[in-house]
Every structure is written in C-alpha cells, then in structure tokens.
Structure 1
Amino acid sequence: MTAATQQVEPTTADEDILAVAREQVLERGEGLSQDQVLRVLRLPEGRLQELLGLAHEVRMRWCGPEVEVEGIVSVKTGGCPEDCHFCSQSGLFATPVRSAWLDIPGLVTAAAETAETGATEFCIVAAVRGPDRRLMDQVRQGIAAIRESGNDINIACSLGMLTAEQVDELAEMGVHRYNHNLETARSHFPNVVTTHTWQERWETLQLVRDAGMEVCCGGIVGMGETDEQRAEFAVQLAELDPHEVPMNFLIPQPGTPYEHYEPIEGPQALRIVAAFRLALPRTMLRFAGGRELTLGDLGAEQGMLGGINAIIVGNYLTNLGRPAQRDLTMLDDLQMPIKALNDTL
C-alpha cells in the first residue's frame, strides 16, 4: 500500500507532527501524507536535530544500517535535444559542455575504478531524450566488455525515455536497475521542462517495473518549487514506490535558465531529506548531485544521520564531486557498513 492510497488518520494543527510521525512512520512503517510532509517541511529550525534523529531511526528500523555505494559515468555527454532548465547537457542552451562519446575501453576502466571503491552499483548515463540504435549497441557492447574483464559489479542505466522493446532489451542485457528521474512535482514540471511531459517519464518507469528491473527515480530540489510542491513530489514518489530515490540539490549551471538561482541552504536541505525519509520509510534514499555545494562536509555527515542510506561517490557527469575516499572514510567514521556486492545480486 502506498503513501498516496493508505488510510491515514487526519491530524489537527495542534498535534505535534513529529509525535505523529514517530507512531505512524517509525512504529507502523506508513509514510506521511502530503499535508503531513508539508508540516514537517515547515518545522522551525530549532527542531531540526529532533527531526533528523527521527529520520535516522526510521532509516535504521525499516532499511537497516548498510549504505549502498554507487559510481556513475556518462557514455554520451552533451548535445541533448531536451530543454531541462537545470541541465548543462542540453543542446538548446549556451553551456560550456560539448557533445562527446565515451569509448568501450573507457567504460570498462570507469567500471573498474568504481568497483575498486567498494561500490556495488555502476550506472551508465546518456544525455538523450531516449536511446537510438547506436546507443543501445554501445551499451550492449560496454556491458559485455565489463563482464569479460571479470568485473561483476551491478550495472544500472539512465538513458532517457524508453519504449517497451528497449526496456526488454536492457533487461536481457542484464541491466538490473533503471534510473529515470521525475525531477520535481507534477504541478511544477512544466516550469522546468517543456519538450516532454511528466507523464511520459512516469510511463517509462511503469514499463521498467513491468519488466522486472528495479526502479530508480528521484529529482532535484531548489528549482523554484514551493514547500507545497516538495510535499507533493515526496508523495508522488511514494506512490511510484521506487527501489531507490536519488536526492539532488540544484547546481546552478552556467548558460542554463537556472544559472543565477541561489543554492538552497544546508539546514533547509537537511529538513527536505528528513521529510522525504518520513514519506518513504522503506526506500533507499541516495545522496546525489549538489550535496557538496549545499551541505559541505559536516552537512553530508548530518544527512547520513538524518535518513540517507545510499551515496554516489566520485564525480557527477559534468560536475565534480568529493574524492571517493573521503566519502568512504566518512562512512567508516560513522560506523556505517557498506553494502556488499553479494547481498545485492
């Protein structure tokens, strides 16, 4: 039963939302409703640590202590025909990013470097509306070469919108998880992207689920959305019930329509992370792009103790991340075990 359909007792304004969440989410494992998430997002800053502590308890209760580590690589960078306003890879904006392809040896090397960090996931990403025959063949050859090298890391893909035939082909290649972000609340999406719809993305995710692959779907916060739309988005993700939700924070990219947006502040970002954990108690919640800019080192540690249980290490496509070893050291310092490969197969 999803957060969108479950029957939840209505709460009144004088009830403490964290007390409600402790009973509803921590004890029963039922995600917060949209109105309840909104109330969490509007908690005063003085209650942030209490909120983070509850989110961590929920993560430990319903997901356990392990952290899944992932690396990503772009097999096709830049030149995308879509107008996602946050993205430096759109060919419609005057950004510094130029179109480029990664060759098969480069893909094998990237997968090996990812595996060396202890990561169990390697995600192949392409800046496209959806894959053409050339890209599908490149992915097939790349996966075969990675396997022939002796690397048994799990392989995920993020190649845009898919047809049913393409979904089946990726599943046959051995792709076990597919990422396709909804990016933001349905009500805000037309302000972010105009060249395709939120519904088109949703339909691809349903095809992925029907094919038996794991669904990875999240978005970006800080793109001008309201608290109400953040709450809406959290519950829409809960309705989708993805295996994983990547949490990205906007990096204002030169040349894009959002280049002058101010990054959201660290305490606000942590409150959003915790609110999403309370809406999605059983879902893998992954720190992704923008956390270094928004949170810094201390904030990253607070996030890991505030509901996060997965992390991308290394770089994020066209943006630099922290060195992988710094994140691995952080997890060691926090005594958070890294999920083993044999537990993910």
Structure 2
Amino acid sequence: MTATSETSVAELTGILGVAREQVLERGEPLTQEQVLAVLRLPDSELDDLLALAHDVRMRWCGPEVEVEGIISLKTGGCPEDCHFCSQSGLFTSPVRSAWLDVPSLVEAAKQTAKSGATEFCIVAAVRGPDARLMAQVAAGIEAIRNEVDINIACSLGMLTQEQVDELAAMGVHRYNHNLETARSHFPNVVTTHSWEERSETLRMVREAGMEVCCGGILGMGETLEQRAEFAADLAALVPDEVPLNFLNPRPGTPFGDLEVLPAVDALRAVAAFRLALPRTVLRFAGGREITLGDLGARKGMLGGINAVIVGNYLTTLGRPAESDIDLLGELKMPIKALNDTL
C-alpha cells in the first residue's frame, strides 16, 4: 500500500512515534484521524507497527490469551438481509434451518472447556429471540452449569428490555451483538434493521451488568476512512471484547463475489484496532484462516490480538483447536484462567 498524494511517507510513519507516546506510555487510545494514519502506513512499516501493537497489548492487557468456543443453537432461516451472512433466509445460500438440542449444547460446552477455553457462546441466527428460543437458552444454560465450569455468553440478535433482564438473571456473562461495520457503511451491509437498533441493544446490555462484546467484519467494501470510523465507533462504546472477523465470501450472498482482504491490510487493521482499543479483549474470529493463513495468524497474535475463537465458526470451518492451543504454547502466551475472567 502506498501513501496518499496528500500525505508524505514521513508524516505517515511519524504516527508510530505519536502512538508509542500516546498509547503505549499513557494508555490513551488513538483518535479516528490517527487510526486512519495508521491504516495508511506503507507495507515497509508493518513489522514496526505490529511490534508496537504487541507492546501495547502486553502493557495494558498482559500476556494472557482468552480462549472461547461458539455453538449455533438455531442455524439458518434468519429473516434479516445481512449481506455477508449465509444464514439469511432471503438468499440462495446453502444453509438449512436447524435447532440444536440441550444435550448437544452440553456436550459442546464440555468439549470447549477441555480445549482450555473459559468462554462458551450460544448463538442463534435470528432478528431477536422469541419465547421458544429464550426457553431453549434458559434450559441450555441450566444444563451446562450443572456439568461444566465455564462462562456462558450469548448472541441472540436484538433484544427487548425484558429479554435483557431475563438473560442477566440467567447469569449470562457476556452478550455479543456486533455493530458489523462503520455507521456510515452499515446501510450498504444491512437494510432490514438499523445501526441504531443494534446500538440500543448494547446500551441495555451494559446497563443490565452483562459484559459487552461488540465487533464486526473487515473487508466488506468499506473504505479506509470507514475502517477508521468503525474503530472509533467501537472505542466510544468501550466494549469488554471486540471480535475481529474478516469477510469469508459466502456463495449465494450479496457479498459472495467480493475479494478476500489482503493479509497485509488485515494485519494493519488488527494493529490499528489495538491502538484504538488498548485495554480491550481483541479477539481473532471468523475469516482469519482464509485471510491470514498460519503465518498471518502468528503475526496477528504478535500484533495486538489477545483472544481467539477456537474450533469451527457458525457456518465455516476454523483451525483445529489444538493448532491454536499449540501456537499459544510456542509463543509462550498463557491461556487466561477461568477465575481471571469473572
């Protein structure tokens, strides 16, 4: 990537010195404009950028890595038109609607815990949960708690205040609801609901005392300016966790023909988001395998990431859990213990 004509390479690379003083030394996140300068850095500065992001992660988050597994309770048939998602019932994507029973949820939680994970997230492809789904979640959480010592998170779409209160009463540790992309780009990604509707769910979750997990997907046709805007949107939210996904174009979706984000751009974004969110759990999520490969995953872990989803994702395959655990061992990054996440 080359610098823009309006900005010299010297001015761009100077952002690293600014970030070292502002973020590493003082713990103050980069502004939207500063994040944009980072995203415009030439490839020749990538290694220095990743090293700085790693230093920031180590100073403000520590060496531990939070490991999470996810499971789909209700798959496919979603009425929303999120253009990246093969679970939408509006597209010709090959994902059939299906429900997972409670014993299968418990078994998945057990296997997740065996991998060393401290977080198990129950996900459903819905606009928001109905009574049947809430009852299934409640039964699943109770059954898991009886057999597995693990934090339980949920991702069930947009919520009402009553549903937020119910999940909090169930003991849900963290709620995931991604903003997906910058506010200005959101209408190009989803048309059946608004960015503001998602934001309202996050507000209620925070006020109910649950941890907020909110991230998105990079590589959905957003500009660098919008990528920087998205980092600023997330920083303003002050989430406990930000999962960073990279678009894995799914056949039959409106984004099925988009090109995979180049690895250098993905790594630059990882580091930029770390500098915008110095104290946040920044998690490698979907698409990292196709975007970064094994070498890129290693670079990302040394470039600001301090959490991973292990195993498969909702509709795409991930790396084997053992591969990620082995990588953490090679990098001498301890897995965060359960009592450190409570």
TM-score range, shorter chain: over 0.9
Distance in 2 (CA, whole Å) between partners of 1:42 and 1:342 is: 40
Residue of 146, 162, 184 corresponding to 1:165? 162
Alignment of 1:240-279 (within 5 A): 240-279=237-276
TM-score of the superposition, structure 2-length normalised? 0.96
Aligned match of 1:332: 329
Deviation of 1:342 after TM superposition, in Å, equals 1.6
Distance in 2 (CA, whole Å) between partners of 1:288 and 1:14 is: 29
Alignment of 1:1-345 (within 5 A): 13=11, 16-149=14-147, 151-345=148-342
Aligned match of 1:4: none
2:173 corresponds to which letter in structure 1? H
Distance in 1 (CA, whole Å) between partners of 2:160 and 2:302 is: 39
Equivalenced residue count is: 333
Distance in 1 (CA, whole Å) between partners of 2:341 and 2:15 is: 35
2:92 corresponds to which letter in structure 1? A
Deviation sequence 1:268-314 (CA, Å, 0-9, x none): 10000000000000101000000000000010000000000000000
1:98 corresponds to which letter in structure 2? R
Aligned match of 1:6: none
Helix, strand or coil for the counterpart of 2:279?
coil
1:204 corresponds to which letter in structure 2? T
Q: Verify the 8 A CA contact 2:12 2:38 in the aligned structure 1.
A: no
Helix, strand or coil for the counterpart of 2:243?
strand
TM-score of the superposition, structure 1-length normalised? 0.96
Distance in 2 (CA, whole Å) between partners of 1:45 and 1:162 is: 42
Deviation of 1:264 after TM superposition, in Å, equals 0.6
Helix, strand or coil for the counterpart of 1:16?
helix
Distance in 2 (CA, whole Å) between partners of 1:71 and 1:17 is: 36
Distance in 2 (CA, whole Å) between partners of 1:145 and 1:106 is: 10
Q: Verify the 8 A CA contact 2:177 2:198 in the aligned structure 1.
A: yes
Distance in 2 (CA, whole Å) between partners of 1:14 and 1:332 is: 35
Deviation of 1:13 after TM superposition, in Å, equals 4.5
Helix, strand or coil for the counterpart of 2:33?
helix
Deviation of 1:14 after TM superposition, in Å, equals 7.4
Helix, strand or coil for the counterpart of 2:239?
coil
Deviation sequence 1:23-74 (CA, Å, 0-9, x none): 0000111111111000000000000000000000000010000000000000
2:190 corresponds to which letter in structure 1? V
Distance in 2 (CA, whole Å) between partners of 1:55 and 1:268 is: 15
Say if 1:44 and 1:165 are closer, same or farther in 2 by CA, change over 3 A: same
Say if 1:14 and 1:286 are closer, same or farther in 2 by CA, change over 3 A: closer
Helix, strand or coil for the counterpart of 2:300?
helix
1:317 corresponds to which letter in structure 2? L
Distance in 1 (CA, whole Å) between partners of 2:117 and 2:157 is: 23
1:268 corresponds to which letter in structure 2? D
Q: Verify the 8 A CA contact 2:13 2:41 in the aligned structure 1.
A: no
Q: CA RMSD in A?
A: 1.0
Distance in 2 (CA, whole Å) between partners of 1:55 and 1:337 is: 18
Percent pairwise identity: 76
Distance in 2 (CA, whole Å) between partners of 1:199 and 1:28 is: 32
Deviation sequence 1:309-342 (CA, Å, 0-9, x none): 0000000011000100000000000000000012
Task: Give ranges in structure 1 of 5+ residues lacking alignment.
Answer: 1-11
Say if 1:254 and 1:154 are closer, same or farther in 2 by CA, change over 3 A: same
Say if 1:262 and 1:136 are closer, same or farther in 2 by CA, change over 3 A: same
Distance in 1 (CA, whole Å) between partners of 2:20 and 2:12 is: 16
Q: Verify the 8 A CA contact 2:284 2:305 in the aligned structure 1.
A: yes
Distance in 2 (CA, whole Å) between partners of 1:148 and 1:339 is: 22
Say if 1:124 and 1:15 are closer, same or farther in 2 by CA, change over 3 A: closer
Deviation of 1:148 after TM superposition, in Å, equals 1.8
Distance in 1 (CA, whole Å) between partners of 2:135 and 2:13 is: 56
Distance in 2 (CA, whole Å) between partners of 1:119 and 1:85 is: 30
Distance in 2 (CA, whole Å) between partners of 1:15 and 1:123 is: 39
1:200 corresponds to which letter in structure 2? E
Say if 1:302 and 1:134 are closer, same or farther in 2 by CA, change over 3 A: same
Distance in 2 (CA, whole Å) between partners of 1:209 and 1:90 is: 27
Q: Verify the 8 A CA contact 2:65 2:334 in the aligned structure 1.
A: yes
